[in-house]
Amino acid sequence: MQSETREKFGLLLGLVGVICFSLTLPSTSIAVEYFGTTVVGLGRTVVAAILVAGVFIVRKEKLPSLHQFKSLLIVAFGAVLGFPLLTSSAMESLPVSHGAVELALLPLATAGFAMFRAGEVPSLKFWISSIIGSLAVIVYALHLGLGKLQFADLALLAAVIILGLSYAEGGKLAKELGSWQVIAWAIMIGAPFFIIPVGLNLTTEMLNAPIQAWVSFIYLAVVSQFLAYVAWYSGMAMGGIARVSQIQYLQPFLMILFATVFLDESITFFTFVIAVIVVFSVILGKNATVSKKGSLTEKN
């Protein structure tokens, strides 16, 4: 019973993380117009590093081991470099609704990497549900792109693959290093390398950016880059990487909802139909079995 409670709490934390992440593309779309790709994509990590450094000083955190540091490099490459930079670039030309559906492929990428990095083996039922959800969002992306993918689409697909690896590695590492410590150390690893490129792209004109642009950038730095990852990695560590990753299928439609509220993007009937299909795949996959390599299959 205690194990079931832990898994349910893990799913709840995963949901909190997904809700927070769902405001990432809308916030990026607003901020990148005024601050540019480099400042938005990398600058958020520099700002987040200030917050993390303060937490580290207060808590007197110990340095990670060499083995943990190697895993942190993978997390940093995906979560603090690749994904923010690629999505910032894509949001300069794509609407949030277009980008959101492509990010729905994250659960499939995360689960795939989980098999290799965390030793989890999803069942056939899990993969069927993942394929259903993935095909649905691919059809949706092609529909919005009038039957073709743009260069920005390729950037988002690359972001999905990179972040999927980062999620799987971070979820595994969180079990031994701690949930918030994973993204915190990844931020501290990446931030020093970002200071110069961010500084070179700062201009005095940015000081005149409207309040919504500043709020969006601060949200990206504090919540999207740090606090949301704390909830997400905690959820994966407690509820299982493959299972919690299914919640991500809700993310693109939450993004579209937030885009409607904050960016006045419209929701079509086709979007609603795809949303129903994807939610169904989440329900199906949530009850699938996930086993560890070399162990008996257990109910997740």
Predicted pLDDT at 129:
82
Q: List pLDDT tens digits, range 13-60.
A: 999 999 999 999 999 999 999 999 999 999 999 999 999 999 999 998
pLDDT for 235: 86
Each residue's pLDDT tens digit, 100-128: 878 877 877 877 787 776 676 777 887 88
pTM value is 0.83
Low-confidence ranges of the chain (pLDDT < 70): 1, 117-118, 120, 145-149, 242, 282, 286-300
In SS3 terms, the chain reads as CHHHHHHHHHHHHHHHHHHHHCCHHHHHHHHHHHHHHHHHHHHHHHHHHHHHHHHHHHHCCCCCCHHHHHHHHHHHHHHHHHHHHHHHHHCCCCCHHHHHHHHHHHHHHHHHHHHHHCCEEECHHHHHHHHHHHHHHHHHHHHHCCCCCCHHHHHHHHHHHHHHHHHHHHHHHHHHHCHHHHHHHHHHHHHHHHHHHHHHCCCHHHHHCCHHHHHHHHHHHHHHHHHHHHHHHHHHHHHCHHHHHHHHHHHHHHHHHHHHHHHCCCCCHHHHHHHHHHHHHHHHHHCCEEEECCCCCEEC
